[in-house]
Amino acid sequence: MWLLLDAGNTRLKWRLTDGHRLLDGGAVRIGEGALVDRLHAAFRKQITIERVIATNVAGDVVGATIDLLASDGFGCAAEMLLPSAEYRGLKNGYTNPAALGADRWAAMIGARELVRGAVCIVDCGTAITLDWIDASGAHQGGMIIPGRRLMTECLVAGTRQIRLPEPSEALEGKLLGTDTASCVAAGTFGCVAGMVERTVQHMGKGAEVTCLVAGGDGAAFGAHLAIPHRIVNDLTFHGLLAFANG
């Protein structure tokens, strides 16, 4: 069995795989208690882990935790997916390829496994990222904006009159709001929908484009896009699995 890890800004997520399929998974929040202990507790089942393959944008401390989990917990070295200039025909569009987030690179690898054609990747997590890959596999660049919680926190912190109730996991889906909370929710939807739809309109130029929407808020945001799209919650893990299989 292989263990795939995706350390993001807020959570460390994992999936098990037999090398062919994505199997069971879970997540723990980063910064709440001893991460190694909680990860060990998650794998107290008698599972033989032969490989640990990971992507990490959470910093060096979490990277060291992943290394420790792999070496002490499973007796193997963690294999880290790092961005490169090119991977099996996928070309990194960053001026400095190493500066691209490893999670975005993994998602792009996963997208190329699922789609052979132009693809727009929208990952809705703590931050919302958009990446465009043309039909030849060339990454044309991307966009980054705050996720829904960061947008809301910025409004509350930077204004005197906007005060919202305790945040809810539910996302309002109205085009326009009728109170402050629903207006803020409508604004976050409009921001993301406008970014995605404008990009597809200008970059696609009428050609066939597949829009893949991922991340914890992906399904909620995707439900309000006025363009065809597919929800792929495990896009980063699809990329990690493809990378692991070389």
Is the CB of residue 124 less than 8 Å from the CB of residue 212?
no
The catalytic position among 6, 103, 123, 234 is 103
Measured in degrees and rounded to the nearest 5, phi and psi for residue 192 equal -70, -45
Is the CB of residue 230 less than 8 Å from the CB of residue 116?
no
Catalytic: 103?
A: yes
- DSSP assignments along 99-116, one per residue: GS-HHHHHHHHHHHHH-S
Distance between CA 237 and CA 184 in Å, rounded? 32
Give the ranges where 45-173 is alpha helix by DSSP (H): 60-68, 74, 102-114, 148-158
Residue 33 CB partners (closer than 8 Å, separation 6+): none
Distance between CA 88 and CA 244 in Å, rounded? 13
Is the CB of residue 4 less than 8 Å from the CB of residue 110?
no
Cα 50–chain centre separation: 25
Is the CB of residue 136 less than 8 Å from the CB of residue 116?
no
Catalytic residues: 103
